[in-house]
Amino acid sequence: KTGYITYDPGFGNTGSCASAITFMDGERGILRYRGIPIEDLAENATFIETAYLLINGHLPTLNELNRTRVLLNDFSLIHESMQVFFQNFPRASHPMGILSGMIMALRSFYPDMGEEDINIHFLYLLSKVRTMAAMSYRMSRGEKVVYPRHDLSYCANFLNMMFDSPVHPYIVDEDLVRALNVFLILHADHEQNCSTSAVRVVGSSKAPLYASIAAGVSALWGPLHGGANQAVIEMLEKILKEGATIDEVIRRAKDRKDPFRLMGFGHRVYKTYDPRAKIIKKMCDKILEKLKIEDPLLDIAKKLEEVALTDPYFVDHNLYPNVDFYSGIVLRAMRIPTNMFPVMFAIGRLPGWIAQWKESMEDPSQRISRPRQIYTGLPQNPFQDIMER
């Protein structure tokens, strides 16, 4: 297979694999899904078109898109018994823990669907994960769940399920719907990142698709990965509350003895500006202006970026804003609670996980993931009886 320097079937000893889904150039800040630049998709596509592109390898025709929309609508409800699960999670449960558990449970509610219906499972997940995320939010607030509507688009349905209320009916705001589409498109796939690797590793043992996706959610939860969008906002709120100066924050971020990190900065692959961060930063300005929101956190973020990008430490370490640095500002503007930010990342990354899982299942050379190690333990030594220890 071409395109990769090292290739090892099924994540053997090199930890890399060949894939035809997403191309990244970390030096030049390039990101393409099935060859299409992320900038073009963010400008022109919907999230569902992008999900279709990633999973099926091409953008949908109008018929294919309409059929996908009908099926996503058909699959948008979840089994009523699942609501009992939401009711019994402790109130303080993190939505990512709930989501991972609910995805695992989802398979149990639809046992009659065989593995041959795998494309239906993909649509089940895309549609029901969105519904479960909104339901989990409503129940965490003791509010009645709002059911999906047949007349709303994927993103409008999510916002309606999150915020509609008998006393304040939710009015669909097309600018916010567009912003949510762009947010989800930017998060849809990213080559072999931590959570996608987890999906592939679990899938390599031929565990069910739902187990692989639940593993992806678990890996994404960490603050170094998909939990960074939540950590960025918590960091900015702390800076605002403490009144710390920008120079003080930058000084702490550079202090190797200090565990503080500038969240939303740095990347395993991008050694330049994350192309997604550029798009989402522009979207921040647009959406806040449209909603007439003055968010002091955006001002702090912009000042931090300005100082960091000229600081020798950050320049020497190739530390630039990544997608998480500004994404939380957009989600705040949509009134989405901070602890749900990683869930929004998971909804966006779902088609990428599915596409990568599908690609690895269809790879005839795929083997079970079994990395090796360098043994650094004790040489052989005798067993000691308990009385001699």
Concatenate the DSSP letters of all residues of 86-114 into one string: HHHS-TT--HHHHHHHHHHHHHHT-TTS-
Structure tokens that stand for 345 in this block: 């990342």
For ligand SDX, give the closer residue by CB, 138 or 190.
190
CB-based closest residue to ligand SDX: 266
Of the candidates 220, 129, 200, the residue with the CA atom closest to the CA atom of residue 357: 200
Secondary structure class of 49 (helix, strand, coil): helix
330 binds ligand SDX, rule: CB under 6 A: no
Handedness of CA 83, 87, 90, 93 (dihedral sign): positive
Structure tokens that stand for 195 in this block: 């959570």
For ligand SDX, give the closer residue by CB, 130 or 190.
190
By CB under 6 A, which span of 33-41, 64-72, 154-162, 266-274 interacts with ligand SDX? 266-274
**Which residues are designated catalytic?**
267, 324
Please state, as a whole number, how many other Cβ atoms lie within 10 Å of the Cβ of residue 389.
5
Q: Which of 203, 266, 328, 351 binds ligand SDX (CB under 6 A)?
A: 266
Count H helices and E strands in the chain, helices first. Answer: 17, 3
In whole angstroms, what is the distance from residue 164 CA to residue 166 CA? 7
By CB under 6 A, which span of 5-13, 120-128, 199-207, 259-267 interacts with ligand SDX? 259-267
- Minimum distance from CB of 350 to ligand SDX (Å)? 13
261 binds ligand SDX, rule: CB under 6 A: yes
Of the candidates 46, 49, 54, the residue with the CA atom closest to the CA atom of residue 23: 54
In whole angstroms, what is the distance from residue 68 CA to residue 76 CA? 12
For ligand SDX, give the closer residue by CB, 17 or 82.
17
In whole angstroms, what is the distance from residue 375 CA to residue 196 CA? 27
Of the candidates 367, 348, 360, the residue with the CA atom closest to the CA atom of residue 21: 360
By CB under 6 A, which span of 177-185, 204-212, 237-245, 262-270 interacts with ligand SDX? 262-270
145 in Cβ contact with 138 (< 8 Å): yes
For ligand SDX, give the closer residue by CB, 68 or 360.
360
Secondary structure class of 25 (helix, strand, coil): strand
Q: Find the binding residues for ligand SDX in span 91-130 (CB under 6 A).
A: none
Q: What is the CA 194 to chain-centroid distance, rounded?
A: 11
Q: Find the binding residues for ligand SDX in span 219-258 (CB under 6 A).
A: 224-225, 228, 253, 256
305 binds ligand SDX, rule: CB under 6 A: no
How many amino acids of this chain bind ligand SDX (CB under 6 A)?
21
- Minimum distance from CB of 382 to ligand SDX (Å)? 40
Tokens 């569902």 -> residue: 48
342 binds ligand SDX, rule: CB under 6 A: no
322 binds ligand SDX, rule: CB under 6 A: yes
For ligand SDX, give the closer residue by CB, 48 or 199.
199
- Minimum distance from CB of 172 to ligand SDX (Å)? 28
Q: Which of 34, 121, 130, 190 binds ligand SDX (CB under 6 A)?
A: 190
What are the residues binding ligand SDX (CB under 6 A)? 190, 193, 224-225, 228, 253, 256, 261-269, 317, 319, 322-324
